[in-house]
Every structure is written in structure tokens, then in C-alpha cells.
Chain A
Amino acid sequence: MIAYLIKRVFQAIAVMLVISLIGFAIQGNLGDPLRELLGQSVSEQVRQQLRDELGLNDPFLVQYMRFLGNAIQGDLGTSYFFKEPALEVILKKLPATLELVFGATVIIIGLSIPLGVFTAIRPNAVFSRLILALSIVGLSIPVFLTAILMIFAFSVELGWMPSFGRGEVVHVFGYWQTNFATKDGWVHIIMPSIALSSIMLPMFIRLIRAEMIEVLQSEYVRYAQAKGIAPWRIYFVHALKNTLLPVITVGGVQIGTMVAYTILTETVFSWPGMGSMFLEAVNRVDTPLIVAYLIVVGFIFVVTNTIVDLIYGLVNPTIKLGRMGA
């Protein structure tokens, strides 16, 4: 177990190093920090002096190591626009994004398992055909279009749902403010969560369905039938457990990806999270903030993947973590 853990942590660190290198490369090539600091009307001599002072003339490796050292200490530079540490800016926006991802995840898990299982065990039912048809529609409409259509239908035409912002939030601790404490908060998070889940949900329904169909044809399912086990137990104990094992791995990766998908959803719903912040940062060429965003998202991605792998190892009896040191 320890050896496996150490191995996974090393892999995670390696990935983070690559991400930081990409981030650093962007920083060096996107925008000129001097212009942001000094404006245009300063003499070339002063510029060069400042370049030296800021270390911008140092060799690449020295600059990268400095960047890395600062990053490890949580210093990802200062946002040009907010004039605040970039990490701080992001951490303020992070809870809104995480709550949105959480809402979408709950929708995905809550619906994909029952729908995936149902469409697998009753492939010819009208309801199954309907779900599969809808899932194709869901898969083929881009997230932002789904979001806009939902706003048009439920906010503009019907006036049932708010289309804008987080609504009333309640402070939990630190920068964390939650949507889940008030009715207004709940109402505001529903449509963005659905929009965000609109691609993943159909994907997961299909994934679970396909896995389940395969598992149901396996020999051990037939053996369970030969033992006289009740169908519900065969579906939900024998088959579902084997179905979800591969789904967990894919699922973990996808939840990480969803953090990136929030850029579109947040922008359409003016959701004050780090996705919409990122798009604004790009518009303002706020390089430190862009780089900080990439590194934070990369970090979230790596952490969720590592956790998912560990969970997979724990729930899959054929993987003995203790023996996987090599």
C-alpha cells in the first residue's frame, strides 16, 4: 500500500512539473511584464536595468527554478488586473466552481447509474429507447448551446429560473461561500449544474449501459442464475459492482475534465467562479492569472486522478495495493 502510494505521488509530481513548465513557457512568451509594470513611455536603459533586477535576463533554467520555487511556496505571481496575488484571486473563485462541479457530479452519479442499468437490462423498453435517443442529442449539443437554450426556455420564456449569478450564498469558512444553504442558492445552481452535466451524463449512461451489458453476458452471471439468485441481486450485486469498477477510472478523469468545462458554463450563466475569471483573464492578457489558473486546474486534475486510482485499488479485490510496489 505504502509503495503504491509513493509511486502514485511521484507520478503526480512528475505531471505537475510538466504542467508548471508549460505554465512557465506561457508566462515567458505571452505579454511583456515590463509594459504592464511601466507603461510604454520609459527609456530603453531603464527597461534593461529593470529586466536585470527582475531576473528576466537570467538563463532559462535559473528563471524556471525561481518560478518553481515561488510556485511551491504558493506564489504564482501577481495579477496585473486585480493587483493581488494570483493564487489568492483564484482561491476566492474556487468554491463557486467546485460547488458547480459538485452539483453536476451529483446529477451525473444520481442519474447515470439507474438509467445505465435500466437501459442495459431492459434494452427494448420504450423508456430505454427514449433515454438512448436523448443521450445522443445531449452528446451532440455543445455545453454552451445547452446552457443558452435552457436560459431561453426556463428564464426568458417561462421565467421559472434565474439565469444569472449564484444568488444568495452563505459564508462557511475562509473564502468558502455555499449555494446549498438557501433556497435561492439552490435555485441558482440547478440550471448551471444541469448544463455542465449535459455532456458527461449521456456519456456515463452509455458507458454504464455498455459495461453492464457485457457483464450480464459473463459466465459468473449465468452461474448466479443457475444458483437461483434473485434477478435484483444479480443486477445490483453481481453485475453492478463489476460494471462500476472500470467506470470509476474513467469517471475520475472526467470529473477532473469537468473543472475545465466550467469555463463555458460559468461564462454563459455569469457564474462567479474561476472558469469565467479565466476567460476574463485571457481577454485582459493577465498572464500571471492565466498561468496560475492552468497550474491550479492541473493540480486539481492530478489530485482527483490520484485519489480515484487509490479508491479503485481499494474497491477492486483483484488489485492488492500492498503487492503493487513495483
Chain B
Amino acid sequence: MSLLSVRDLTVKFGSRTGPVTALNGISFDLARGERLGIVGESGAGKSITGFALMNLLSKPGYIDGGQILFEGEDVAQMSPRDVRAMRGDRMAMIFQDPMVTLNPVLTIGQQMIETLKAHRKLSTQEARQIALVKLKEVYIPSPQDRLDQYPHELSGGMRQRIIIAMALLLDPKLIIADEPTTALDVTIQADIMALLLEMCQSNQVGLILITHDLGVVSQVTERTMVMYAGRIIESGPTRSIINDPQHPYTQGLINALPQQTPPGQRLKQIPGTMPTLATMPKGCPFHTRCALVGEGCMTHVPSINQFGSSFVACHEVHRLQNEVPAEDVS
């Protein structure tokens, strides 16, 4: 049984003009200890996916359908009490900006101890000891002193280290990290990412890494999912996605990487911008920017089908590759 099995997840946002769909039929699986990257442009729905997995969508967002089977239980159907018992214990989350993630008026120790006490029957002393051990694991110097410090006394990198330690406090099965290094100084981004990878590997923790950075994805994850306008448009082994992208959008993303452009030349950006939830076109959401656009693209949303080791949602790839589509992922 896989650790996480998402089926047809749909998320909507209520608005005055009626609900708009932010996530449309997302399906994927994650094995125990597996690391999955989610990439895509800003607004593609990556963060929404992360929050939906935690059942932590803030209003007016809500899960409109589908299943999120986590260790066999459907997170979407859990009682608030069970969801709370799961969060931070079996499934932990690392937020983007460590400068605003920690509560400014509580010490690091208080914030770590409360997390332990929320899920285990522990004395404050016992909880403090566990917190100390975890801080040591993430190589925080003089961890004893850190426990009594307030967040503002620590640098951004140090805070994100602490947040990684907090995610590991209760030995979760899955960590969802939403752009955990984007807000940090460039010089320490690699350190933090390496730490996260090391922690996941040594503790057999599954990881869902949300990022813009294809370089990071190729270093950290085993599989990658490319999202566009609330849908998965390509998914597969990270190596295939990077080296042999199928979907025109994924190809565009890879070609836009600075490494793919000789020095001095302009980056090959994908023309146009992603549609917003309100301006979602009919048919394939990418057809307005796609060079391969054909007739069917404007009327029908492509289903996702297997090609080699990847799954791709594109009418034209199906046609060009001239292959018989394999069965649907689900």
C-alpha cells in the first residue's frame, strides 16, 4: 500500500460569482519514503495542493471532491479532531518564509514543546529533551540556548533549520515542504535543501517538495509532477521529466532554464501568461500559449496517458508520438 494516494482531488474557492475551481482532478501516489517534486509557474495550484493534503485550506477554499488516502485513511473525510491528531504528527509541513512562520512572542522551546505535548503524553522536561535531540540532529549550534530564544533573535537560515527540526519532532511519515528555501539567502539555500534531503533519507520520511526550481527538484526528488492551471500535465521519474520532457509546457520550462541558454542570449521564456481561475479557457488550459496547438486542444481537455516512463496530458503528444495511449493513471 502506498503512503499517500490522491484520487481526483478537486478544490474550489467560493466567490461572489460562484465557486471557481483551483484544483481539477489531481491524482497521484507516493510510496513510503519517496520524494516527489511539484513544479509549475506561480498560481499553478502547488501550494493549494499542499494545504489540501493537510486539510488546511483557508476560507473560502474547500475540498469539493476526491480522496486523499493517507495511510489508508481519507484526510478529506476526517473529523476535525482526527485531522488535528494527524497534522504535525504523521504529516508535517514546512512553510515558505521562516521569518513569519514562527510565533514572535513564544520561545523556540515553547513552540517545540507544545507540538510534542499536542500529540504525546509527555512532561515538559521530557518534551524539552526530545526537542534538544532534534535540534542537535539538524546541526544547530548550542541547542540548549536556542530553546530559550525568541525567533527574532535568530537568522532566517537558523529558523528554517529549527522548523525542519520541528517537522521531525514526532517522526512523521510525510513532510510537505512548500518552497522551503525561496525566502532564504542564496548562499544558504543549498545547505538547507541538503539538510532536508539528508533528514528525509536517514529517517525514511516521504517528502513532497513544492518549488519553482527544477535544479533543486533534480537533486532532491525521485519523481516529479508538473502542474499547470490547477491540473497535473506531466508526471514521472524526475530524470525523465528533466532529460526527456514530453509536454510542450514542460519542454518550455526546461528550455527556459539559464543553463539551456548560451551566455549573453535572452532566456527562452514561454510566451504569454498562465490563465487565472477566472479566465480559464475551454479545452486544454495551455493551448493559448502552445506552439503545437491543434483543433482538439481548443475544445477538449486532454486526459493523462502514459508515454514511456511518464504520464502526459496532451492531445498533440499523443498524435505526434503515434502511440496507442496506455491506461489512465487512476
Contact = CB atoms under 8 A, between A and B. Distances in A.
B56 interface: yes
Interface of A: 217-220, 222-230, 233, 237-238, 241-242, 245, 316-318
Looking at chain A's contact residues, the main secondary structure is helix
A245 B87 contact: no
Given A227-B87, A229-B88, A230-B118, 10 more contacts: A219-B95, A220-B103, A222-B95, A227-B114, A228-B118, A238-B106, A242-B104, A316-B105, A317-B104, A317-B152
B100 A228 contact: no
Given A237-B106, A317-B150, A227 B115 contact: yes
A227 B166 contact: yes
A230 B95 contact: no
17 contacts: A219-B101, A220-B102, A220-B103, A223-B101, A226-B56, A226-B92, A226-B95, A227-B115, A227-B166, A228-B85, A228-B86, A229-B84, A229-B118, A238-B106, A241-B105, A316-B105, A318-B150
Given A229-B115, A229-B118, A230-B84, A224 B150 contact: no
B58 interface: yes
Interface in B118-174: 118-119, 150, 152, 166
Contacts of B97: 219
Interface of B: 54, 56, 58, 84-89, 92-93, 95, 97, 100-107, 114-115, 118-119, 150, 152, 166
A238 B119 CA distance: 18
Contacts, number: 73
A170 to B, nearest CB: 41
Closest 6 CB pairs of A and B: A228-B88, A227-B88, A228-B87, A317-B150, A219-B100, A226-B93
A225 B91 CA distance: 12
Nearest to B86: A228
A223 B85 CA distance: 15
A233 B56 CA distance: 17
B84 A228 contact: yes
Given A228-B88, A228-B115, A230-B118, A223 B95 contact: yes
A319 to B, nearest CB: 10
Contacts of B152: 317-318
Contacts of B84: 228-230
Contacts of A233: 114, 118
A267 B88 CA distance: 59
Nearest to A319: B152
Contacts of A237: 106, 114
A276 B165 CA distance: 62
B87 A225 contact: yes
A230 B119 CA distance: 10
A226 B88 contact: yes
A218 B58 CA distance: 11
